[in-house]
């Protein structure tokens, strides 16, 4: 197979401890026709100095402040020259055939816009972190296979609703049409939003189990951090508001907010003090989206003008993904 030129983007914020192992695994790839773009979000751990000294062929972009995962990747993508743009987390180690197999599947059809790898936990290499992404209509996203021991059920190539952004390949043609991540997301839910928009304009997202990485699962924020809760919630709400048709939103939103209130009520009945945090996060997320109404409407207009799939297609796709996830997790 002729190797199309591919741009590999790695965004970094104080990830010095991961850089050597990640970069060295990339240099061992069987795929040779690629460039590496390293974009740094104003790290204070001398990450840039280390890359500049040890990997002179890497293209380095220095941000003057921490823009977060989404905007950093967007900036780096403007420098990419490849037919394909691969996004890879800095806290990963790739298999030698990681890129070859992603590109091979992407080349099979003009309608495949994104291919995504199988991901294992770095510290427990036969346990899955991601084997496809499922999502229900209220945007509860799930990594299929997470924390399950690998087996043949997770080794089937298939279409999935969303691709985990830790190791994905995006076709240039798709990027030219819809861009990359929403720059207002900072982190969390940006990959689900990108995948949704990919399906809306008629492209497919395909999980490729023969392409795999090992993921150390670095936390951008603490696992129960109020800030992480806020970012996840406001991004999830924005994704719903951007991508659903109005007729669907009138049905989904009341139930969505009802589910949020249900969580708070349950916590109150259990005298759980975190109910206050959840209430604060939900209210803050709503007001954030109100403040950014102009941007939201602009995005909705773009999606409305370019979509070729309606919400019946999307809802059916979501239902199939959750049914598949539930059946596989029983194995």
Question: Would the pLDDT of 270 be above 90?
Answer: no
The share of the chain scoring above pLDDT 90, in percent, equals 91
Rounded to an integer, what distance in angstroms lies between the CA atom of residue 144 and that of residue 135?
10
Q: Which residues contact 98 (CB under 8 A, 6 or more apart)?
A: 29, 117, 167, 211, 212, 213
Confirm if 111 and 202 have CB atoms less than 8 A apart.
Answer: yes
pLDDT for the residue 26: 99
Q: How confident is the model at residue 217 (pLDDT cuts 50, 70, 90)?
A: confident
Mean pLDDT of 166-185: 98
Q: What is the pLDDT of residues 94-152, one digit of tens each?
A: 999 999 999 999 999 999 999 999 999 999 999 999 999 999 999 999 999 999 999 99
* pLDDT at residue 218 greater than cutoff 80: no
Provide the mean pLDDT of the chain: 95
Average pLDDT (20-39) is: 98
Q: Band of the pLDDT at 2, cuts 50, 70, 90?
A: confident
Q: Tell me, what's the pLDDT at 220?
A: 55
Is the pLDDT assigned to residue 17 strictly greater than 70?
A: yes
Say whether pLDDT at 243 is over 60.
yes
What is the pLDDT, as a whole number, of residue 178?
98
What structural domains and CATH numbers belong to the chain? 6-215 (3.90.550.10), 226-329 (no CATH)
Predicted TM-score (pTM) of this structure = 0.95
DSSP string for residues in 190-224: HHHHHHHHHHHTT-EEEEEEEEEEEE----SS-TT
CA distances from 8 to 92, 104, 163, 172 (A): 13, 16, 16, 13
The secondary element (H helix, E strand) that includes residue 124 is: strand 124-130
pLDDT, position 188: 94
| Least confident segment among 1-15, 148-162, 187-201, 316-330 | 316-330
Question: Per-residue confidence at 67, pLDDT binned at 50, 70, 90?
Answer: very high
By the 10 Å C-beta count (0-12 exposed, 13-18 middle, 19+ buried), 64 is classed as exposed
> In the predicted model, is pLDDT for residue 326 greater than 90?
no
pLDDT over 80 at 90, yes or no: yes
Mean pLDDT confidence for 44-71: 97
Contact, 129 vs 92, CB < 8 A? no
pLDDT surpasses 80 at 331: no
- The pLDDT of 218-222, averaged and rounded, is 55
Report the C-alpha gap between 95 and 85 in whole angstroms.
Answer: 18
pLDDT on residue 221: 53
> What's the pLDDT at 71?
97
What does each C-alpha distance from 174 to 38, 75, 143, 151, 251 come to in angstroms? 22, 17, 24, 32, 30
**pLDDT class of 223 with cuts at 50, 70, 90:** low
pLDDT of residue 219: 53
């Amino acid at each position: 197979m002729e190797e199309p030129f591919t741009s590999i983007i790695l965004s970094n914020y104080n990830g010095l401890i991961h850089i050597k192992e990640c970069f060295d695994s990339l240099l061992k790839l069987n795929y040779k026709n690629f460039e590496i773009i390293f974009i740094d979000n104003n790290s204070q751990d001398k990450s840039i100095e280390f890359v500049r000294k040890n990997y002179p062929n890497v293209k380095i972009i220095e941000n003057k402040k921490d823009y977060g995962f989404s905007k950093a990747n967007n900036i780096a993508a403007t420098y990419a020259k490849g037919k394909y743009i691969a996004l890879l987390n800095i806290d990963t180690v790739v298999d030698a055939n990681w890129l070859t197999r992603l590109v091979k599947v992407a080349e099979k059809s003009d309608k495949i816009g994104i291919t995504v790898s199988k991901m294992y936990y770095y510290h427990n290499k036969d346990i899955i972190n991601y084997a496809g992404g499922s999502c229900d209509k209220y945007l509860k996203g799930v990594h299929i296979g997470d924390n399950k021991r690998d087996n043949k059920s997770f080794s089937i190539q298939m279409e999935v609703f969303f691709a985990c952004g830790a190791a994905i390949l995006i076709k240039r043609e798709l990027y030219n049409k819809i861009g990359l991540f929403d720059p207002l997301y900072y982190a969390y839910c940006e990959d689900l939003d990108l995948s949704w928009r990919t399906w809306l304009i008629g492209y497919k997202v395909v999980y490729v189990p023969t392409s795999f990485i090992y993921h150390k699962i670095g936390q951008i924020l603490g696992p129960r951090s109020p800030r992480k809760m806020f970012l996840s919630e406001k991004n999830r709400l924005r994704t719903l508001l951007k991508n659903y048709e109005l007729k669907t939103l009138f049905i989904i939103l009341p139930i969505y907010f009802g589910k949020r209130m249900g969580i708070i009520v349950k916590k109150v009945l259990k005298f759980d003090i975190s109910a206050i945090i959840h209430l604060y996060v939900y209210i803050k997320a709503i007001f954030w989206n109100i403040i950014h109404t102009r941007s939201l409407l602009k995005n909705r207009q773009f999606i409305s003008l370019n979509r070729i799939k309606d919400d019946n297609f999307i809802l059916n796709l979501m239902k199939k993904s959750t049914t598949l996830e539930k059946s596989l997790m029983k194995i």
